[in-house]
Amino acid sequence: MPGHLSMEEVFARACELIPGGVSSPVRAFGSVGGTPVFLASAKGPHVVDITGREYVDLVCSWGPALLGHAHPEVVQAVQDAATRGLSFGAPTTAEVELAAAVKARIPFVEKVRFVSTGTEATMTAIRLARGATGRPRIVKFAGCYHGHSDSLLAAAGSGVATAGLPGSSGVTDGAASDTIVLPYNDPDALRAAFAADGERIACVITEACPANMGLVPPASGFNETIREVTREHGALMIFDEVLTGFRVGPAGYWGHDNSPDAPRYVPDIVTFGKVLGGGMPLAALAARAEIMDLLAPLGPVYQAGTLSGNPLATAAGIATLRLADASVYARVDEASEVLQTAIGEALTGASVPHVVQRAGNLFSVFFGEDAAARGVRNYAEAQAQDVFRFAPFFHAMLDAGVTLPPSVFEAWFLSSAHDDAALSRILDALPAAARAAASA
């Protein structure tokens, strides 16, 4: 396209050719209004749009950019891999190396299968749980997002929450009817579902720490309850760490919440994506060998992919996990604390009722008196917040050169490249954004 077009002209052209002008719905700015920012490049904590304007980025590609955008050693690893060939459709040593790196961080993992997206990872995990148990039904929690496979779209978070949809058109009753949707953080509802139908439930899938209805940490003991109830009834526990894995800490949310030597709970199957691929399309499911060996070619549960374990993606993943050492997590945690405190101060200073909810370095902001008074524990409470305060807040930040996730139902993402200069630009922008939220 000609380089002199404005953002509005580019978006209009995109909308002629691509539904909504985007390849993933939340990018269209549907809930915040205005023209989506088309990006041209990204480096460290910054993204640059097609007009050359630079922003401090708090989207980080929705999680993968833990080390900041285009980390030189990750880019070099991808370039080196590219010179050797883009895709073989044959096994590579890089897959073996990356599987070993995953296993080294998560002690309960014995085997790993690589796929290209988080959607595939959770979809395959569900199929595996059904194959392992011979049971049809699955339990998911309202507001949790596990990608866009049919059976997992019911009452989903992320873009489905942003659009205010109950699920998706195009999903048959057959595909949806085996999905039981329960309120998050409600042990009684979980026990009641198993009491009613336990023999037909293959698994409970849960986000390790939900971050797709905003950040809603599990209440103390909730993940343990999922573990106990599934074990009692012979069902599997699927822990979706696509978003949290290798981001909240070296061993994901599980490692953040458990001592690896004496864990309080161990899920049966875990899913990864995002940071695992360091910005390339890569995701995985992992479990103990007895479960993983049910996958083809060893077992009867089928899964495959032309680009699965792609050499560029595995090269980016290996480099990212190698670089993501204790100092990286310490920096992201520290930057996140500074930002969480500053957001709270700015909103309080502008008399905007709110709560900042967090799990380690992941956090999000909820607006409203109720949220401020008692916190947000589930999807119904997340939906009941003062959603209208977010759009003016978002646009004030954008005007000041800070890109936030364009929905109040998403977590904010930092990287180890968010240095003091990047943080100050965000902090400087917050008071005016808080005032904009106050006057909404």
**238 binds ligand PMP per the rule CB under 6 A:** no
Three-class DSSP category at 1:
coil
**207 binds ligand PMP per the rule CB under 6 A:** yes
Residue nearer to ligand PMP on the CB measure, 207 or 386? 207
State the amino acid at position 420 in one-letter form.
D
How does DSSP assign 127-140, residue by residue? HHHHHHH---EEEE
The one segment of 26-34, 79-87, 114-122, 427-435 that binds ligand PMP by CB under 6 A: 114-122
Q: How far apart are CA 339 and CA 349, in angstroms?
A: 15
What token pair was written down for 245? 């894995």
Residue nearer to ligand PMP on the CB measure, 154 or 350? 154
Q: How far apart are CA 306 and CA 309, in angstroms?
A: 9
**240 binds ligand PMP per the rule CB under 6 A:** yes
**212 binds ligand PMP per the rule CB under 6 A:** yes
Minimum gap (Å) between residue 120 Cβ and ligand PMP: 7
Q: Can you list the pairs that 344-352 forms with residues at least 24 positions away whose Cβ atoms lie under 8 Å?
A: 345/430, 346/430, 346/431, 346/433, 346/434, 347/434, 347/437, 349/431, 349/434, 350/431, 350/434, 350/435, 350/437, 350/438, 351/438, 352/389, 352/434, 352/437, 352/438
**31 binds ligand PMP per the rule CB under 6 A:** no
Which residue among the candidates 140, 253, 274, 386 is catalytic per the annotation? 274
**185 binds ligand PMP per the rule CB under 6 A:** no
Residues 349-388 that bind ligand PMP (CB under 6 A): none
Minimum gap (Å) between residue 375 Cβ and ligand PMP: 21
What token pair was written down for 433? 């954004």
Three-class DSSP category at 67:
coil
**159 binds ligand PMP per the rule CB under 6 A:** no
The one segment of 11-19, 239-247, 400-408, 423-431 that binds ligand PMP by CB under 6 A: 239-247
**285 binds ligand PMP per the rule CB under 6 A:** no
> Angle between the 72-84 and 311-323 helix axes, to the nearest 10 degrees?
150
State the amino acid at position 148 in one-letter form.
H
The one segment of 143-151, 169-177, 316-324, 359-367 that binds ligand PMP by CB under 6 A: 143-151
Q: Which of 119, 185, 308, 336 binds ligand PMP (CB under 6 A)?
A: 119
Q: How far apart are CA 338 and CA 130, in angstroms?
A: 44
Q: Which of 158, 206, 230, 364 binds ligand PMP (CB under 6 A)?
A: 158
Residue nearer to ligand PMP on the CB measure, 346 or 376? 376
Asked about 379 being catalytic, the answer comes back as no
**146 binds ligand PMP per the rule CB under 6 A:** yes
Beta carbons of 313 and 116 less than 8 angstroms apart: yes
Centroid of chain to Cα 31: 19
Q: Which of 21, 44, 118, 267 binds ligand PMP (CB under 6 A)?
A: 118
Minimum gap (Å) between residue 31 Cβ and ligand PMP: 16
Asked about 43 being catalytic, the answer comes back as no
Beta carbons of 235 and 201 less than 8 angstroms apart: yes
Asked about 325 being catalytic, the answer comes back as no
Minimum gap (Å) between residue 118 Cβ and ligand PMP: 2
**Alpha-carbon dihedral sign for residues 298, 299, 303, 309:** negative
Task: Give every CB contact of residue 345 below 8 A, 6+ residues apart in sequence.
Answer: 430
**339 binds ligand PMP per the rule CB under 6 A:** no
Residues in contact with ligand PMP by the rule CB under 6 A: 62, 117-119, 122, 145-147, 158, 207, 212, 240, 242-243, 273, 283
The residues annotated with a catalytic role in the active site are 145, 240, 274
